[in-house]
């Protein structure tokens, strides 16, 4: 009998704790960005766990850590399972990470079970989903999806290091980036498990949910320029960039609320940043998301007009740089179905009867996921796991062992449900 201790929720959570120690921040805070020494360290750990689960491993040309377990015959297209190992600043320990480590545990269970599937299983630990270091998100998954843009090579981090230089420092060859790209023929689909990052499951007393679609997002860097000067300057002669930015930020929030969109200004920098000097320049980020790309794009046009109007009134200048755009992505009917089947199987009582309870919830994800990029190649499905208070992108991110145990059972059952029906129906 194989030892399945490695595939328990306790082990997966212990591994999440271990990865959390690979951080660039002191005092137990977590930050792990793309192409950093911490990225290399967690790739090495994940690779070891993948091999322990029976997979062959490799790091691809974008720094994504990959593993593969062959199916009934070598070389079959794969069901890709994955998520990301990078984090935001002051992150929690489960966003992305739980999905990767859960996928490795599920592959180990299936391998130990001895059933050979009509497809291979691959696990990918994406190196960049958050976009923390270079501003543009989904770099790892976009490399795999073959949607990498050459313009990204000149993106810089806060220290002025270009993406190209960071590749070289990590031991990667920028000229080889296209070899990270996979094709539609490589895959039968993509499944991602992820914490919900919202309150809906908790409010409905359900541990697991099915993602229906993922909201499209656009990110911008907005620079407002006025004139720095003495804080004693009279009102008639002031061109205060921070006052203009503040008016714009509040107006953006109002506009987004009215349009049923989500807008976040999470970064603001002021120059020269002194108590007795009028701000000559203010830079802020904007992250704009919505269920429908058309609504989001229409709101952005209104925001642009609003920025121009506010700045014209205040004698300021505004410049806008779009740093990221990702269209909304829909989870296929087929993979929504296998996730539902997986949740149902995980809720089955010991006597085989379905546990009493409501049908699993379908949720729109306002958070972005690697699945959005992979959708360019193959159909996607996602399983959400309840997280305490819906809190994420924060050290307080938390899940229970019981929920993770159910999630692992459901994810495994979803893979097996797909194997049962694979070839019976065309992708939705």
Which residues of the chain form contacts with Mn ion (CB under 5 A)?
95-96
Comparing CB distances to ligand GLV, the nearer of 368 and 381 is: 368
- In the complex, what is the shortest distance from the CB of residue 166 to Mn ion, in angstroms, rounded to a whole number? 20
Non-local (6+) Cβ contacts of 190 within 8 A are 79, 80, 81, 82, 335, 371, 374, 375, 377, 378, 379, 380, 381
Query: What distances in angstroms separate CA 162 from CA 170, 261, 341, 389, one per listed residue?
Result: 12, 33, 45, 37
- In the complex, what is the shortest distance from the CB of residue 196 to ligand GLV, in angstroms, rounded to a whole number? 12
- In the complex, what is the shortest distance from the CB of residue 387 to Mn ion, in angstroms, rounded to a whole number? 11
Comparing CB distances to Mn ion, the nearer of 166 and 367 is: 367
- In the complex, what is the shortest distance from the CB of residue 400 to ligand GLV, in angstroms, rounded to a whole number? 21
CB atoms within 10 A of CB 58: 13
Do you know the residue count of the chain?
A: 428
- In the complex, what is the shortest distance from the CB of residue 91 to Mn ion, in angstroms, rounded to a whole number? 7
Site for ligand GLV in 363-382 (CB under 6 A): 367-368
Q: Confirm if 364 and 215 have CB atoms less than 8 A apart.
A: yes
CA separation for the pair 332, 213 (Å, rounded): 9
Interacting partner of 307 out of Mn ion, ligand GLV, none (Cβ under 5 to 8 A depending on kind): none
Give me the residue whose beta carbon is nearest to ligand GLV.
368
Comparing CB distances to ligand GLV, the nearer of 277 and 391 is: 391
The distance between the two most distant Cα atoms of the chain, rounded to a whole number of Å, is: 82
- In the complex, what is the shortest distance from the CB of residue 95 to ligand GLV, in angstroms, rounded to a whole number? 6
- In the complex, what is the shortest distance from the CB of residue 367 to ligand GLV, in angstroms, rounded to a whole number? 4
- Residue 361 in the binding site for ligand GLV (CB under 6 A): no
Comparing CB distances to ligand GLV, the nearer of 341 and 367 is: 367
Query: What distances in angstroms separate CA 393 from CA 67, 94, 242, 390, 399, one per listed residue?
Result: 27, 9, 26, 10, 14
CB atoms within 10 A of CB 238: 16
CA separation for the pair 242, 310 (Å, rounded): 12
Assigned token pair, 226: 């006025």
- In the complex, what is the shortest distance from the CB of residue 350 to Mn ion, in angstroms, rounded to a whole number? 34
Interacting partner of 63 out of Mn ion, ligand GLV, none (Cβ under 5 to 8 A depending on kind): none
Comparing CB distances to ligand GLV, the nearer of 11 and 147 is: 147
Comparing CB distances to Mn ion, the nearer of 101 and 242 is: 101
- The single residue listed with the structure tokens 């121009």 is 308
CA separation for the pair 393, 18 (Å, rounded): 18
Residues in contact with ligand GLV, total (CB under 6 A)? 3
CA separation for the pair 208, 95 (Å, rounded): 15
Interacting partner of 290 out of Mn ion, ligand GLV, none (Cβ under 5 to 8 A depending on kind): none
**Residue 140 exposure: Cα atoms within 13 Å on the Cβ side:** 31
Interacting partner of 342 out of ligand GLV, Mn ion, none (Cβ under 5 to 8 A depending on kind): none
Which of 31, 108, 128, 130 forms a contact with ligand GLV (CB under 6 A)?
A: 130
Comparing CB distances to ligand GLV, the nearer of 217 and 316 is: 217
Coil vs helix vs strand at 213? strand
Which element (helix H / strand E) includes 270? strand 268-271
Comparing CB distances to Mn ion, the nearer of 50 and 387 is: 387
Site for ligand GLV in 261-300 (CB under 6 A): none
Q: List beta partners, residue 381.
A: 191
User: Which residues sit at the interface with ligand GLV, rule CB under 6 A?
Assistant: 130, 367-368
């Amino acid at each position: 009998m194989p030892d399945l201790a490695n595939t328990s929720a306790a082990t997966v959570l212990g591994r999440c704790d271990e990865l959390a120690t690979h951080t660039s921040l002191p005092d137990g805070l977590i930050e792990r960005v793309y192409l950093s020494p911490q990225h290399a360290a967690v790739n090495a750990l994940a690779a070891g766990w993948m091999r322990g689960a029976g997979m062959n491993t490799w790091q691809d040309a974008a720094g994504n850590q990959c593993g593969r377990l062959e199916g009934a015959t070598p070389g079959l297209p794969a069901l890709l399972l994955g998520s990301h190992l990078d984090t935001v600043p002051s992150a929690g320990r489960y966003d992305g990470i739980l999905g990767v480590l859960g996928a490795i545990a599920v592959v180990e269970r299936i391998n130990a079970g001895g059933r050979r599937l009509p497809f291979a299983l691959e696990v990918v630990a994406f190196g960049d989903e958050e976009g923390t270091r270079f501003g543009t998100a989904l770099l790892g998954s976009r490399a795999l999806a073959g949607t990498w843009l050459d313009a990204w090579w000149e993106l810089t981090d806060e220290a002025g290091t270009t993406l190209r230089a960071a590749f070289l420092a990590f031991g990667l060859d920028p000229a080889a980036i296209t070899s990270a790209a996979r094709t539609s023929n490589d895959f039968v689909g993509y499944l991602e498990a992820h914490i919900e990052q919202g309150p809906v499951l908790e409010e409905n007393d359900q541990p697991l949910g099915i993602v229906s679609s993922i909201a499209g997002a656009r990110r911008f860097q907005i620079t407002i320029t006025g004139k720095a000067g003495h804080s004693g300057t009279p009102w008639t002669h002031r061109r205060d960039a921070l006052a203009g930015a503040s008016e714009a930020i509040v107006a953006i929030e109002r506009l987004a609320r009215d349009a049923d969109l989500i807008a976040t200004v999470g970064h603001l920098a002021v120059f020269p940043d002194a108590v007795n000097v009028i701000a000559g320049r203010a830079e802020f980020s904007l992250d704009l998301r919505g269920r429908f790309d058309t609504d989001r794009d229409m709101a952005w046009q209104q925001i642009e007009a609003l920025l121009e109007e506010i700045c014209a009134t205040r004698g300021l200048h505004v410049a806008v740089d779009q740093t990221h755009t990702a269209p909304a992505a829909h989870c296929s009917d087929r993979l929504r179905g296998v996730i539902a089947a997986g949740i149902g199987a995980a809720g089955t009582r010991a006597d085989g009867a379905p546990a009493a309870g409501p049908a699993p919830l379908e949720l729109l994800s306002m958070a972005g996921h690697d699945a959005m990029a992979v959708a360019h190649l193959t159909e996607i499905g996602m399983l959400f796991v309840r997280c305490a208070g819906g809190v994420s992108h924060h050290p307080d991110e938390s899940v229970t062992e019981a929920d993770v145990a159910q999630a692992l059972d459901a994810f495994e059952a979803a893979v097996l449900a797909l194997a049962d029906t694979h070839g019976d129906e065309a992708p939705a």
